[in-house]
Amino acid sequence: MGETLWDVLQLPVATPLWQLVLLVGVSVSTLTVVLVRMVAGMRNKQHPYRRDLFFGMNWRWGYEGKQLVHLQSYCPDDDCELVYSQDKDQGIAFRCETCDRQYSQYSMDINYLRGMVRRQIERKLRTGEWRQGAAASTAPVTENNLADSATSGAPESKSAVS
């Protein structure tokens, strides 16, 4: 009786082919369902910090892994997506098409402004400040306090976790 487990596993067994095909099919299907659910579960565990108020505008974004994606500005009054016009000499200006609220004109391009917002989001994530829900400034947004916040690293902000 000096048989090893490997020897036992190599013994011939009389099993109909349809049973083997069924066993393999069920096993592959089960494994596929488990893996799909695991991947979907990992995608749904996104960071809860997905919106904040910067420069008088609501900003929302998503995540792909740890990367911020789909950064977009919204009107704080009616939650309409803001549109912007960009002029080479004047910079950018935001406007809400629903309430017609005009935002200050910023002497930079849209990519630079979005970069500023992205850097503030990343800073808040890094420092944990997003959990504190810092109180927003009540001062109106102007070109001057935009420049001040750009140099201080602390734009007007009010955290909101959704």
Mean pLDDT per block of 10 residues along the chain (162 residues) reads 82 86 93 84 72 92 88 94 86 91 82 93 92 48 40 42 45
Task: Quote the pLDDT of residue 137.
Answer: 31
Identify residue 75 by its one-letter amino acid code. C
Task: Quote the pLDDT of residue 72.
Answer: 94
Hey, what are 145's tokens?
């306090």
- In whole angstroms, what is the distance from residue 110 CA to residue 90 CA? 12
- In whole angstroms, what is the distance from residue 154 CA to residue 83 CA? 24
> Coil, strand or helix: which one is 16?
coil
Task: Quote the pLDDT of residue 107.
Answer: 84
Task: Quote the pLDDT of residue 5.
Answer: 87
Task: Quote the pLDDT of residue 114.
Answer: 92
- pTM score, whole prediction: 0.57
Task: Quote the pLDDT of residue 162.
Answer: 44
Task: Quote the pLDDT of residue 106.
Answer: 79
